[in-house]
Amino acid sequence: MNQEKDFLGTMPVGRLLWKLAIPTVTAQVINMLYNIVDRIYIGHIPEVGAAALTGVGVCMPLIMIVTAFAAFAGFGGAPRASIYMGKGDHASAEKTLGNCFVIQCIISVLLTAALLLWNRDFLMAFGASENTIEYGVNYMNIYAIGTIFVQMTLGMNAFITAQGFAKTGMLSVLIGAVANIILDPIFIFAFQMGVEGAALATIISQAMSCAWVLLFLCGKKTRLKLHWKNMALKAGIVLPCMALGLSTFIMQGSESVISICFNSSLLRYGGDIAVGAMTILTSVMQFAMLPLQGLGQGAQPIISYNYGARNPDRVKAAYKLLLKASLVYSTLLWGFVMLFPQAFAAMFTDSAPLLAFTGNALRIYMACLLLFGIQIACQMTFTSLGNAKASILVAVMRKFILLIPLIYVMPLIFPADKTTAVYMAEPVADFIAVSFTVILFTFQFRKSLKQISEMPAKAEDTK
């Protein structure tokens, strides 16, 4: 316990955030490569690259659902485990880990069955056309088999980072990403497997990451260890974790629903080229979202641990640093996107028509990116404090209450160019959502700090 205190409870917050955030941001950048490297290679397959890219792009809603379910238990359980550690309740922290592990296994089996049985139906509903559906089906038939590896890697890796082992968490992602980058061209081009090769490379790489994560959580270096005795599911442990993880699940899983709405509307107004551009837009958006989430994950152990230890000054200091760092990153990336949109698009395609179309759409779609630093910092802090209700509310507000209706309303407001109007839904929703989040966060954060300030610290917590 003293070791944990020295690390998360007493080290200067700025130095500690730097120590934890650099590996978590690096891990998210690597994870971003994991997610987009297939699309980069696929988009450059001779003759069929543009169609194959669009077909695999339509798979993204399903892939987002898989990763969202990984967050459902893991990203909800990890902050609660950190809070327990801050309180000195190691047994409850390990029970949380064990219960979340079992939930991830159950979810993996159900998702794998659903993806294998109904992926063609899903893809057609998500905006695939007769020209692109076979590429999507071929990719998903193989990717579905590796669902359990994705679940274990993402969900259980959150518990590694939550203990303060940020470098180990980074290595978990790095192992798979490097393997994927190496295997992709071998399977896609050398073995001439096309999109099936990309999917096979992905699941082999995820299996390698999964093995690393589980070996660590069963090894000697971890503070929270997987034990059989902690795997008996208990409602008092599982339900609060799933409630807290629901916000991250909504934030990530709703991207799937949003992709469906975008793709169906864009296919109607702009055809396959508009859907292909959307694949690139969502890929570039990951350049913003994943590093910002990495910053939040770096701050999470600090905020959660010190919230559990009832140290409001360190909680407040960690949040302020998180907000500043997030704003700097989102503003810089926004500037690059506005100045060089086609440079980002060129990473995914060499099709001249698609490049020209995407360059204009990218500026519109990401017009409010500079405000995302505020949104993510507030939402990640809500989760770190265990405030499930507020975290869920801001996620639902941006995605379901604002963005999805706007995808269908904007073309009615701007009928002259309905395709552009669909892309405009994103920045309009972002601006309103950030305004709402700031107001809610101001009141909720003060309330949380006041609560722990008024509670006297236990004697054993101050030793």
Give the model confidence (pLDDT) of 32-84 as tens digits: 676 667 777 887 777 777 778 777 777 877 887 888 888 788 888 998 998 89
**Measured between alpha carbons, how far is residue 181 from residues 13, 49, 153, 295, 373 in Å?**
35, 18, 17, 24, 29
**Residue for token digits 């082999």?**
204
The average pLDDT across 330-341 equals 92
* Model confidence pLDDT, tens digit, residues 284-315: 887 778 788 888 888 988 999 889 888 889 99
Q: Does the pLDDT at position 29 exceed 90?
A: no
Considering the chain, what percentage of its residues have pLDDT values greater than 70?
95
Distance between CA 206 and CA 173 in Å, rounded?
Answer: 9
Segment among 4-8, 65-69, 253-257, 307-311 with least mean pLDDT: 4-8
Segment among 4-8, 319-323, 434-438 with least mean pLDDT: 4-8
Q: What is the DSSP string of 90-148?
A: HHHHHHHHHHHHHHHHHHHHHHHHHHHHHHHHHHHHTT--TTTHHHHHHHHHHHGGGHH
* Model confidence pLDDT, tens digit, residues 358-415: 888 999 999 998 898 999 899 889 988 888 888 888 888 988 899 999 999 999 999 9
| pLDDT score at 432 | 95
The mean of the pLDDT values for the chain is 86
Distance between CA 156 and CA 153 in Å, rounded?
Answer: 6
| pLDDT score at 5 | 45
How would residue 317 be classed by pLDDT, with cut points 50, 70 and 90? very high
Q: Count the residues in the chain.
A: 463
Distance between CA 404 and CA 385 in Å, rounded?
Answer: 28
* Model confidence pLDDT, tens digit, residues 75-113: 889 989 988 988 889 999 999 999 999 999 999 999 999
Which tops the pLDDT comparison, 72 or 430?
430
The domains of the chain are located at 11-456
Cβ burial, residue 407 (10 Å; 0-12/13-18/19+): buried
CB-CB neighbours of 186 under 10 Å: 13
| Nearest CA among 234, 238, 244 for reference residue 300 | 244
| pLDDT score at 25 | 82
